[in-house]
């Protein structure tokens, strides 16, 4: 948030501006919503220094053409998926769970993210789809950085 230095408070007048800082980051796809043949959103994470896949966040809706192309790059998860048995919330302040399909955590994607993080180090806002990164391995992504509350 910012305002003009010489600005003063005026009732019913908007003087503050909101400026979000967004960066692109790489993350590993661990699950999808929608049909695996046409994923709707991506649930992504990064490996921590102990080798555990930690949840970072969820994407906004992936464009249909990109979803169909992604389906060719995703492999169904085996019984040893690190997120098996975990539930994911459909949104902040809701108890509704997302129906997700787990995939092998191998595909790296590039996403546009707000720099804001929650106390556990996860993205506070949905990430925007940019592109798949089949040229990168999961080990090429930066390690998960836990927040102060983790």
Instruction: Give 129's Cβ-side CA count (13 Å radius).
Output: 19
pTM of the model: 0.83
Supply the DSSP string of 45-80, one letter for each residue. Answer: EEE-TTS-EEEEEEBSPPPHHHHHHHHHH--B--TT
Distances, alpha carbon 57 to alpha carbons 18, 47, 51, 89, in Å:
23, 13, 18, 11
* pLDDT at residue 111 in the model: 97
* pLDDT at residue 94 in the model: 76
* pLDDT at residue 13 in the model: 75
Domains of the chain, first to last: 23-140 (2.40.50.140)
* pLDDT at residue 1 in the model: 60
Residue 85, classed as helix, strand or coil, is coil
In order along the chain (150 residues), what is the average pLDDT of each group of 10 residues? 68 73 90 94 96 95 95 94 91 81 97 84 89 96 79
* pLDDT at residue 51 in the model: 94
* Alpha helices by DSSP H, 2-150: 64-73
């Amino acid at each position: 948030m910012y305002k003009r230095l010489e600005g003063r408070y005026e009732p019913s007048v908007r003087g503050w501006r909101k400026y979000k800082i967004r960066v692109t980051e790489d993350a590993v796809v661990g699950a999808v919503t929608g049909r695996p043949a046409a994923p709707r959103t991506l649930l992504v994470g990064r490996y921590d220094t102990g080798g555990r896949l930690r949840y970072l966040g969820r994407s906004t809706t992936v464009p249909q053409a990109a979803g169909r192309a992604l389906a060719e790059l995703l492999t169904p998860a085996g019984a040893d998926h690190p997120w098996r048995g975990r539930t994911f919330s459909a949104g902040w302040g809701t108890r509704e769970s997302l129906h997700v399909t787990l995939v092998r955590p191998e595909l790296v994607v590039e996403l546009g993210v707000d720099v804001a993080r929650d106390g556990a180090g996860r993205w506070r806002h949905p990430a925007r789809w940019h592109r798949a990164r089949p040229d990168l391995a999961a080990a090429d992504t930066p390690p998960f950085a836990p927040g102060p509350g983790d």
